[in-house]
Amino acid sequence: MKQHKLLLIVLLALVPVLASSANFSALTVREVGNFLNTLPTDFYGVQPPAAKAQIDAIKPFLLDVREPNEYKDGFIAGAVNIPIRELSAKVGSLPKDKPILVYCGIGHRGAMAVVFLRGQGYNVKSIMGGYKAWVAANYPVVKE
């Protein structure tokens, strides 16, 4: 529940930023507002055990939106690293034909990626608590 509240806070924090920025139209701000108003009860997030089960069963595309130095220190096997700041430029490289599980360090950047990618029509959810929660659950990671 605490992680759901964190995701909601991150999403709600985006609205004032969008509203105060000259780079976003009123339409964009309304669309984000509509997105927030229709959030499902899971806030497009999955706990690490459910994420692990999905990875094992259906092999979703695993997207790590952390910085390269964070990724280098450890990542979930099979994850592709596209830092959040590069996501809009590289969105075309993501598959539209399979689910995407996204994660970051603790969930903030993952939540931002969910908002962006869902707006682009992707079937995406975030691993709640990010890499930190994954490691705390004692799930395997790759260290280089």
Residue 104: active-site member: yes
Cα 110 to Cα 7: distance, rounded to the nearest angstrom:
9
Helix axes 2-20, 108-119, angle to 10 degrees: 60
Q: Which of 46, 104, 124, 127 is catalytic?
A: 104
Residues recognised as catalytic? 104
